[in-house]
Amino acid sequence: MSSFKGSYHYTVDSKGRINVPAKMRKNLSPEANSGFVITRGFEPCIFVYPNDEWAKRETEIGKLQQTKPEDRFFTRMLLQYATDAELDGQYRIALPKELMQYANIKGEVFILGAYDRIEVWAPEEFQKYLDAQQKDYLTVASTVFDAANGE
Amino acid sequence: MSSFKGSYHYTVDSKGRINVPAKMRKNLSPEANSGFVITRGFEPCIFVYPNDEWAKRETEIGKLQQTKPEDRFFTRMLLQYATDAELDGQYRIALPKELMQYANIKGEVFILGAYDRIEVWAPEEFQKYLDAQQKDYLTVASTVFDAANGE
DNA sequence: CGTTCGGTGGGTAAAAGTGGGTAAAAATCC
DNA sequence: GGATTTTTACCCACTTTTACCCACCGAACG
C-alpha cells in the first residue's frame, strides 16, 4: 500500500514533464508497476494515482448509485479527465495539457504527497488554498495526533 | 514501544546531519527498523518519530474520508512536512532543509526525548519557549502527576 | 594503559533532478 | 491515400545532492 508524504518544489520542463520525487517512488507498490492514472483534482490541482490505488477508486465508483445526481457528478469529475501515464527512463511523467491549464501550472510545481495519491499544484494556487482555510497546522495536527494516542 | 527521555546538546554538521543519542537508539523498537519520519513540530522545532510510532498517526489519517474537503485539508496539512529518514552507518539522520529553517536550527541543536518522539530544537528557541511559559515546571508537574493518581 | 564506544568530520561514488536532440507515432491537411 | 506537421517516447548528457564509507578524537571502561 502506497502512502505518499512530503512536499517538493520542482520544475516543469518545456515538454510538460515533472520528475516523480525519489522518496515517493520508493513508496510505490510493486503491483502499481510504475503505471499511474492522472486526473483532475477536486481543488485546482492534479491528482496522480498509482495504478493499484486507482483500482480502489474505480471500485468505489462502482458502488455509487448512478441514479443520484451528486454521485453522477462525482463519477464524471473523476473519470472525464482521467488518463494513463507511465514513468519514462528518467522517472518522469508527462502532465496532460488540459489539466495543466485547469491547475494553472506554468513552469514550477508544488508536489504534495497526500496518502493515497500524489498531488501537483501551481505554487500560487496552493498558497491561495491555504489562505482560504480557517484552520492551521497546529489545530489539525493536534486533532489527529491525539486520536493516535487513543483519546 | 519506544519511550524517549533525556536531553542532549549536539552539533549539526555541514551536511545537516545530527547524531541520534546512543541511549535513544537503545530504546528503539525493533519493528521501527532504524527508520524514522521527520515532521514539523507544534512549536518551532522538529519532531522525529520512529516508524512504528508514526504508523499510528498514519492509521488516523487513513480514516479520513478523501471525498470531504475538510478531510483532504487535514491530510495535506499532516503529510506536507513529513519525510522518511534512515540512520546512516554512524547512526545519524539528515534533517530536511526546510524544517531546519522552520525550527531556526543552525550549527547546534538541543535534542529532547519526549515519550513517543524525539524533538530537535535550536537551543535559543527552546530557551525562548521556556521563558514564554506562564506556568512554571512545578505547576505543570503537579497537574500531570495528580491526574495520573486519579485526583 | 590499551580497547571499545560515542560523537564528529569529510572524501567520493552513486543517485536525483534537469535539459534537450532525435526518431517513431499520431494527427492533420491537401 | 499520401505527404506534412505535430506530438510523443526514448535516449544521452550535465549538475547538484545524497548516501556510503573511512577516519579521527576524546571519554569511559576493563
Q: How far apart are CA A85 and CA A95, in angstroms?
A: 9
Residue A150: pLDDT band with limits 50, 70, 90:
confident
Contact B70, A42 (CB under 8 A): no
Looking at residue A33, what is its pLDDT? 67
Cell 457528478 -> residue = A73
Domains and CATH numbers, chain A: 7-123 (3.40.1550.20)
Q: In terms of CA atoms, which chain B residue is nearest residue A3?
A: B58
Closest listed residue to residue B11, CA positions, set B132, B123, B147, B87 = B123
Q: pLDDT digit string (tens) for A92-112?
A: 999 999 899 999 998 999 999
Contact B54, B37 (CB under 8 A): yes
Looking at residue B140, what is its pLDDT? 67
Q: pLDDT digit string (tens) for B8-54?
A: 999 999 999 999 999 999 888 777 677 999 999 999 999 999 999 99
Q: Which residues pair with B83 in a beta bridge?
A: B38
Q: pLDDT digit string (tens) for A65-82?
A: 888 888 888 888 888 889
Interface-testing mutation among A2, A4, A5, A78, with chain B (most B C-beta atoms within 10 A):
A5
Helix (H, G, I), strand (E, B) or coil at B87: coil
Residue type, A59: T
Interface contact A137-B77, CB threshold 8 A: yes
Q: How far apart are CA A95 and CA A48, in angstroms?
A: 10
Per the structure, the residues numbered 87 to 116 in protein chain A that have their CB within 7 angstroms of any atom of strand D are 88-90, 94, 97
Interface contact B75-A114, CB threshold 8 A: yes
Contacting residues of B for A142, CB less than 8 Å apart: 42
Instruction: Indicate whether A129 pLDDT > 90.
Output: yes
A84 touches strand D (CB under 7 A): no
Interacting residues of A127 by C-beta distance below 8 A, sequence separation 6+: none
Angle B96-B102-B104 from CA coordinates, rounded to 5°: 100
Does the model's pTM come out above 0.85?
yes
Q: Which of B66, B82, B116 sits opposite A6 (nearest CB)?
A: B82
C-alpha cell at A53: 490505488
Looking at residue B17, what is its pLDDT? 96
Q: pLDDT digit string (tens) for B43-75?
A: 999 999 999 999 999 999 999 999 899 999 999
Q: How far apart are CA B40 and CA B121, in angstroms?
A: 11
Cell 502527576 -> residue = B145
Q: pLDDT digit string (tens) for B136-148?
A: 666 667 777 777 7
Q: How far apart are CA A61 and CA A74, in angstroms?
A: 8
| B residues 18..77 contacting A (CB < 8 A) | 37, 40, 42, 56-62, 64, 66-67, 69, 72-77
